[in-house]
Chain A
Amino acid sequence: MSHLGERVSALVDGELGHSERDRALAHLTFCTDCRAEVEALRALKSRLRALERPAMPADLTMSLLRMSEPGGPLPPRIRPFPDASHTFGGVPIPGMHTISPPDNRPPRRGRGRPDNRADSSARTGRARRAGYVAVGMASAAVAFGTMFVVGGLGQAPPVVPQMERFANQHKTTAPYVQPGFSEAVHPTPHATPTPIRSPRPVK
């Protein structure tokens, strides 16, 4: 069997299995080098356990505690919608490069007194509702506008009354008589009549 090598540390820490540990211990019975190495490592660990824990610096503790308080010193936030003109009804309109999660951080200390938090929350709710209404109205306007434009497509074609046909149909239609029994022609200066079929009977 070769030297223990990396297994020395595992043997000292008691992390080897039964069979592995037995083989390692058997090796130590005849390998002086490995036995010396194991003893040295055990001595080192024993000394380390004997050492005292280092004391936490007081200023570091206070700094960490301050970080847990609300409104603590946070790094400046990059506004998701830096341009104030891109808002509609108080609701910012996201742009192509401004998608970010909503800012749900608690307000900063200097922004208002703690007793005004309810009013601020109510204002935010009203603004949000107004925003929803505005967005709904805008959507409806866009929909109606689209339907109006689409409805205007393909306007009826311009027509001219077919006066000759209409006048002929009028003068040859005898009221309360079954149509289709008469013929008529249009006025011509010729003496020879040229019969023209009367208009097709209405359905």
Chain B
Amino acid sequence: MRRLPAAVVVAGVVLLVLVAAHPVAGPVSGPQREAAEGDDTGIELLREAAYAGRTRSYTGTRLVTTWGAAGPSSALTHVRNVPGEGLTVRAETAAGAGTVAVGVDPGSPAAGLVSPSDGMLDVLARNYRVETAGTGTACGRTGRFVQATRADGSPAARYLVDEAGGVVLRREVFDGRGTLTRADAFIELSVPQERAAPRMSGHAWYGGPSLGGGPPNGQVAHLRQRGWDVPAALPGRLELFTAGETAEGYLHLGYSDGLSVVSIFVQRGTLDESRLAGWHARSRGGHTIWIRGLTGFEAAAQQVVWASGEHVYTVVADAPADMVDAAVAVLPHQEGIGAWEQVCRGADRLLSWISPFA
């Protein structure tokens, strides 16, 4: 009998070991992958709820409650959604029912962010662990809880999705310490057509295509070339989703972490504090900011104003207070224009006066 070469024998042994090890590795990795997919079932349920909130007609009464530094503030709103036309929100005030918004996107802050777009849900899934968390009831309807959890295990938000109608019955947002800061809850809801609507794919309801990412890099670079400060992100995992200079000459930046929305408006000029009626100056981190106490539906959005250099910053946010404070802290806070900047500007002006090409 002819003897096999030693190299062939070694190769055969290695192959046998690999084949023998493969069945062992399979059962170990399989359950782990299935468990990871199980964790993501919450985001799929939220996508279904967001889709239902855009494509189904419903009317109801929603209670919006915010817990701020001045205590809780509640507002009763009447909402009506018509697919293709948008959501109409009317808020109960002391003088009657005031219309807040007509035909707005159900994923907008005016609609309570209860039907976020696909792009916003992607950001939510990227920043938080989203998983189902049992069942519950609200306004006599049964639903399933979906909880968004931070990396440290603290809750960031909790949704109750209606099993029959598919819309979000209740939405709660927590701050970094796990304290409830806002709750949007239906106390009455009517969904005439409760059967599932055909799922559209690739586009958000009647609006344009859902933007998967933030603003184009070229657009941000253009704004920075024009002298605007455009942070790509803010503390609290806030990602830039829109940036643009309006025809009125101010800058609008929008940030979101998938749960909250922070809008920043920057105007060129100095803050005319004498005309800030109803605003109160506060010191935060050695800087002076202006806030004002709002009631009713307007209290859901925090508003902060301050001046930095020759710019006036205004922050309007549907976000927990600690997230707003952290965002405000990292934005520019200059007492005035710097001496060197003023010298440089003077040199530019002198050069422009002298140079015939300027």
Q: Spell out A's residues near B (CB within 8 Å).
A: 144, 146-153, 155-163, 165-167, 169-185, 187-195, 199-203
- Contact yes or no, A189 B96, CB < 8 A: yes
Write out the residue numbers on chain B whose beta carbons fall within 8 Å of the beta carbon of A160: 271-272, 275-276
- Contact yes or no, A184 B102, CB < 8 A: yes
Write out the residue numbers on chain B whose beta carbons fall within 8 Å of the beta carbon of A192: 99
- Contact yes or no, B350 A190, CB < 8 A: no
Instruction: Say whether chain A's binding surface is mostly helix, strand, loop, or mixed.
Output: loop
C-alpha spacing A195/B85, complex, angstroms: 13
* B344 CB within 8 Å of chain A: yes
- Contact yes or no, A184 B100, CB < 8 A: yes
C-alpha spacing A169/B314, complex, angstroms: 12
C-alpha spacing A173/B211, complex, angstroms: 13
- Contact yes or no, B263 A173, CB < 8 A: yes
- Contact yes or no, B104 A183, CB < 8 A: yes
- Contact yes or no, A191 B96, CB < 8 A: yes
- Contact yes or no, B252 A151, CB < 8 A: no
Q: How many residues of B contact A (CB 8 A)?
A: 82
- Contact yes or no, A189 B93, CB < 8 A: yes
A177 nearest in chain B by CB position: B117
In the complex, 25 of the A-B residue pairs with CB atoms within 8 angstroms, ordered by the A residue number, are: A147-B346, A148-B343, A150-B345, A152-B342, A156-B310, A158-B270, A161-B314, A162-B265, A163-B303, A170-B263, A170-B301, A171-B301, A175-B120, A176-B210, A176-B212, A177-B207, A178-B209, A184-B103, A185-B99, A185-B100, A189-B96, A193-B102, A195-B103, A200-B247, A202-B242
- Minimum CB–CB distance from B257 to chain A (whole Å) comes to 10
The verdict on A179 contacting B242 (CB below 8 Å), with A166-B265, A187-B98 known, is yes
B243 nearest in chain A by CB position: A202
- Minimum CB–CB distance from A197 to chain B (whole Å) comes to 11
Known contacts A175-B242, A182-B207; can you find 19 more A-B pairs with CB under 8 A?
A151-B342, A156-B310, A158-B269, A158-B271, A159-B268, A160-B275, A171-B104, A172-B105, A175-B256, A176-B118, A176-B212, A176-B256, A177-B105, A182-B105, A183-B86, A185-B101, A189-B95, A195-B103, A203-B246
C-alpha spacing A195/B101, complex, angstroms: 8
Write out the residue numbers on chain B whose beta carbons fall within 8 Å of the beta carbon of A201: 244
* B107 CB within 8 Å of chain A: yes
- Contact yes or no, A190 B96, CB < 8 A: yes
- Contact yes or no, A177 B346, CB < 8 A: no
C-alpha spacing A148/B347, complex, angstroms: 8
Write out the residue numbers on chain A whose beta carbons fall within 8 Å of the beta carbon of B270: 155-159
Choose among B123, B250, B343 the residue that contacts A151 (Cβ–Cβ < 8 A): B343
Choose among A162, A178, A187, A203 the residue that contacts B219 (Cβ–Cβ < 8 A): A203
* B109 CB within 8 Å of chain A: yes
- Minimum CB–CB distance from A147 to chain B (whole Å) comes to 3
- Minimum CB–CB distance from B135 to chain A (whole Å) comes to 29
- Contact yes or no, A167 B316, CB < 8 A: yes
Choose among B109, B247, B346 the residue that contacts A148 (Cβ–Cβ < 8 A): B346
The verdict on A166 contacting B99 (CB below 8 Å), with A156-B269, A161-B312, A178-B209 known, is no
Write out the residue numbers on chain B whose beta carbons fall within 8 Å of the beta carbon of A173: 108-109, 242, 254, 261, 263
The verdict on A175 contacting B346 (CB below 8 Å), with A195-B102, A202-B243 known, is no
Question: Beta-carbon contacts of B101-131 to A below 8 Å, as 1s and 0s?
Answer: 1111111111000001111101100000000
- Contact yes or no, A182 B104, CB < 8 A: yes
* B305 CB within 8 Å of chain A: yes
Write out the residue numbers on chain A whose beta carbons fall within 8 Å of the beta carbon of B298: 167, 187
Write out the residue numbers on chain B whose beta carbons fall within 8 Å of the beta carbon of A179: 242
C-alpha spacing A75/B307, complex, angstroms: 71
Question: Beta-carbon contacts of B232-254 to A below 8 Å, as 1s and 0s?
Answer: 00000000011111111010101
- Contact yes or no, A202 B101, CB < 8 A: no
* B90 CB within 8 Å of chain A: yes
Which of A155, A161, A189 counts the most chain B CB atoms within 10 A?
A161
- Minimum CB–CB distance from A65 to chain B (whole Å) comes to 62
* B79 CB within 8 Å of chain A: no
